[in-house]
């Protein structure tokens, strides 16, 4: 059975096309239909469509925009454009997007049947290839999984048989590794879900890094991760923190469980593998938070003084990704204040921490805009930071570099926003003082609430509620500059009828009450 989508704004075209295809391929096709580009995208997201017939001129999201969106999450789908728009630029755009065929209306039944027959043959080839690849991969995976488990056991339960370790390294083609351990602990792991949870974790971790994954031991998994030897110690730490933060986010989002990670120190010698593993285990059990990421080096720092404000760092990275300059500046100031209190007069620590923070922001920026900066820029920044001896000059340099990153993120997002989301953001920003809902905005931009919600999150980086909340807080910040206006007035103009709720929300996001924030202006 093949799943076929028929997308056209005219029902008579959908009915005619369905009749022709069913007559030529009786009992072989399951049909889906859409009258708009947005509906077509939504159907493809929720169903495994094999072949789609698409018109270009449809209401809301047009055919070209819909094809672009569909290809982003289902690149193997065969799309046949069937349209009365016989214009070169449309055909060129369709070809560039990888459509299977471009047919101009009117087209005879024989051509439609022939095109469909060829498309079905292509789908059969894809299916046979996928099945063969899956069978080969399953055989290889079963062997590799056993060897990986044995290797992890040999590292954390060492014996005198060093030759075994060398054999494993040869098998994995690893030479003289620089490495560290990650120890994962999955909260509330039910017996019936252990196998599937482990397989999902393996899939996420192995696709994210060059690593060797151990077996599930109770509710824990030990992972051996290699590090590029060309990196300096500082650069390696930045790379590790960025990687682990991203990995933890992916795991908790996809798995639906709280997962704690203990991160061990980087070690150059496998003779210290047991010690390196124990350090990751100590980091893991140092907190009762079932959803935390804990680094062994931070545990050592906490024993000598208060812990690094990781929450402020996480919020700063989140607000940087959202393009919220003012919140980033406020959070940056709180991190610098902590560094001043914990390490008075010690520029080396502040340089290291701020370089680490800047590198995380830059890494995040490169995930949004791949052409931003590069390794040479990263190394040049460290040279600049290393040469500064004045703490305020250091903080000014790092903050200006973070601002540059945020500017790139904002510009990139705006350049990639579809007309629909640009229009939606304009409507939201023009109506912040009144109640606005996702359903209302989706209706005004003429697409379904489900597709609007997904598209909005993809293009702005925030869900609808988060975007509206942050836009209202930003408006409140601007209004607070006028000292003649009361907090009650500003609350109402920002969309909050209850000033008390507004003040609590403002403090939660900004870190200061509206009155305290006004005093800083």
pLDDT score for 375: 43
Long-range Cβ contact pairs of 449-454 (< 8 A, separation 24 or more): 450/42, 451/38, 451/39, 451/41, 451/42, 451/45, 452/38, 452/420, 452/424, 454/45
Distances from the Cα of 203 to the Cαs of 145, 207, 208, 340, 428, in angstroms? 12, 6, 9, 42, 39
pLDDT at 57: 83
Shared domain check, 103 and 189: no
Q: What is the 3-state secondary structure (H, E, C) of 270-299?
A: HHHHHHHHHHHHHHHHCCCCCCCEEEHHHH
d(CA 321, CA 334): 19
Which of 414, 431, 449 is the last residue before a domain boundary? 414
80 found inside a domain: yes
Query: Please, which contacts does 476-484 make with residues 24 or more away whose CB atoms are closer than 8 Å?
Result: 476/502, 476/506, 476/514, 477/326, 477/510, 477/517, 480/514, 480/517, 480/518, 480/521, 481/518, 481/521, 483/518
Examine the fold and report which residue of 301, 319, 342 is the final residue of a domain before the chain moves on: 301
The 10 Å CB-count burial string (b at 16+, else e) for 12-37 is ebbeebbebbeebeeeebeebbbbbb
Question: Which residue range(s) make up the domain with 287?
Answer: 176-301
Q: Which of 128, 143, 168 is the last residue of a domain?
A: 128
On whether residue 152 sits in a domain, the answer given is: no
How far apart are the C-alpha atoms of 414 and 251, rounded to whole Å?
29
Q: Is residue 136 part of a domain?
A: no
Q: Are the C-beta atoms of residues 70 and 43 closer than 8 Å to each other?
A: no
Determine the pLDDT at residue 140: 59
In angstroms, rounded to a whole number, what is the distance separating the alpha carbons of residues 352 and 307? 16
Alpha-carbon torsion angle 184, 190, 191, 197, nearest 10: -50
Within a domain: 185: yes
End-to-end CA separation in angstroms for the chain: 66
273 in the same domain as 242: yes
Dihedrals φ, ψ of 259, to 5°?
Answer: -130, 130
Whether a cis peptide bond, with omega within 30° of 0, leads into 106 is yes
Residue 344: the pLDDT is: 79
**Contacts for 384 with CB less than 8 Å, ≥ 6 apart:** 397
Cross-strand partners of 31: 4
Q: Is 371 helix (H, G, I), strand (E, B) or coil?
A: coil
- Provide the domain count of the chain: 4
Domain with 24 in it: what CATH number? Answer: 3.40.50.2300
Q: Are residues 344 and 432 in the same domain?
A: no
Does some domain include residue 276? yes
Considering the domain boundaries, does residue 479 fall inside one? yes
Query: Are both 287 and 383 inside the same structural domain?
Result: no
pLDDT tens for each residue of the chain, 521 residues long: 899 999 998 899 999 999 999 999 999 999 999 999 899 999 999 999 999 999 988 887 888 889 988 988 989 899 998 877 666 566 677 777 888 988 888 888 999 999 999 999 999 998 888 887 776 666 556 667 788 888 888 888 765 554 578 888 888 888 888 999 999 999 887 777 888 889 899 889 988 888 999 988 878 899 999 998 888 777 788 888 888 988 998 898 888 888 999 999 999 888 888 889 988 988 888 888 888 898 887 775 555 445 667 778 888 888 888 888 888 888 898 888 888 877 777 787 788 788 878 878 887 787 776 655 544 445 567 778 878 888 888 999 999 989 988 888 888 777 777 888 889 999 999 999 999 999 999 999 888 888 888 888 888 878 899 889 988 998 998 899 888 899 999 999 999 999 999 999 988 887 788 988 888 76
CA distance 237 to 259: 21
Length of the chain: 521
Same domain, 354 and 451: no
Q: What is the pTM of this model?
A: 0.42
Give the whole-angstrom CA distance, residue 246 versus residue 232: 21
Domain shared by 372 and 255, yes or no: no
Residue 321 CA to residue 331 CA, distance in Å, equals 14
In this structure, is residue 285 part of a structural domain?
yes
DSSP secondary structure, 113-133, as one string? HHHHHHHHHHHHHHHHHHHHH
CATH number (domain holding residue 448): 1.10.10.60
Tokens found for residue 297: 């080096």
In a domain, 138, yes or no: no
In this structure, the answer to whether residues 123 and 205 fall within a common structural domain is no
| Structural contact between residues 42 and 451, judged by C-beta atoms closer than 8 angstroms | yes
Structure tokens at 323: 């393009």
- The secondary structure of 386-442 as a DSSP string is HH---HHHHHHHHHHHHHHHHHHHHHHHHHH--HHHHHHHHHHHHTTTS---HHHHH
């Amino acid at each position: 059975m093949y799943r076929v989508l028929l997308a056209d704004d005219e029902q008579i075209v959908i009915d005619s096309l369905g009749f022709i295809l069913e007559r030529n391929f009786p009992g072989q096709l399951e049909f889906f239909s859409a009258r708009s580009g947005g509906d077509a995208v939504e159907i493809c997201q929720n169903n495994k469509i094999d072949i789609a017939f698409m018109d270009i001129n449809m209401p809301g999201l047009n055919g070209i925009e819909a094809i672009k969106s569909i290809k982003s999450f289902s690149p193997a789908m065969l799309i046949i454009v069937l349209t009365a728009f016989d214009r070169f630029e449309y055909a060129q755009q369709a070809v560039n997007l990888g459509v299977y065929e471009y047919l101009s209306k009117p087209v005879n039944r024989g051509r439609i049947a022939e095109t469909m027959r060829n498309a079905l043959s292509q789908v059969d080839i894809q299916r046979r290839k996928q099945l063969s690849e899956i069978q080969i991969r399953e055989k290889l995976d079963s062997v590799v999984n056993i060897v990986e488990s044995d290797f992890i056991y040999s590292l954390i339960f060492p014996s005198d048989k060093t030759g075994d370790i060398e054999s494993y390294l040869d098998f994995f083609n690893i030479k003289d590794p620089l490495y560290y351990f990650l120890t994962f602990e999955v909260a509330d792991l039910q017996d019936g879900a252990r196998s599937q949870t482990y397989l999902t974790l393996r899939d996420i971790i192995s696709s994210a890094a060059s690593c060797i994954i151990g077996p599930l031991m109770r509710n824990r998994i030990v992972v051996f991760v290699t590090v590029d030897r060309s990196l300096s110690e500082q650069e390696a730490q930045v790379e590790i923190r960025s990687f682990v933060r991203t990995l933890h986010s992916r795991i908790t989002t996809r798995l639906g469980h709280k997962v704690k990670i203990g991160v061990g120190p980087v070690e150059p010698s496998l003779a210290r593998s047991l010690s390196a593993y124990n350090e990751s285990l100590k980091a893991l059990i140092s907190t009762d938070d079932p959803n935390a990421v804990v680094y062994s080096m931070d545990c050592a720092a906490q024993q000598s003084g208060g812990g690094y404000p990781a929450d402020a760092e996480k919020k700063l990275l989140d607000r940087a990704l959202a393009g919220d300059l003012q919140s980033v500046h406020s959070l940056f100031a709180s991190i610098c204040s902590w560094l001043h209190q914990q390490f008075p007069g010690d520029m080396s620590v502040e340089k290291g921490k701020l370089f680490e923070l800047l590198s995380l922001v830059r890494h995040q920026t490169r995930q949004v805009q791949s052409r931003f900066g590069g390794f040479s820029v990263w190394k040049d920044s460290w040279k600049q930071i290393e040469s500064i001896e004045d703490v305020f000059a250091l903080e000014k340099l790092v903050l200006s570099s973070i601002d540059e990153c945020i500017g790139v993120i904002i510009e990139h997002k705006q350049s990639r926003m579809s007309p629909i989301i640009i229009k939606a953001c304009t409507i939201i920003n023009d109506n912040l003082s009144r109640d606005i809902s996702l359903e209302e905005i989706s209706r005004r931009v003429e697409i379904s609430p489900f597709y609007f919600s997904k598209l909005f999150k993809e293009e702005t980086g925030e869900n609808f509620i988060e975007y509206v909340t942050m836009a209202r807080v930003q408006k409140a910040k601007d209004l607070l500059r006028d000292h003649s206006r009361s907090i009650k007035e500003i609350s109402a103009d920002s969309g909050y009828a209850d000033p008390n709720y507004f003040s609590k929300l403002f403090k939660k996001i900004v870190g200061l009450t509206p009155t305290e924030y006004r005093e800083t202006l």
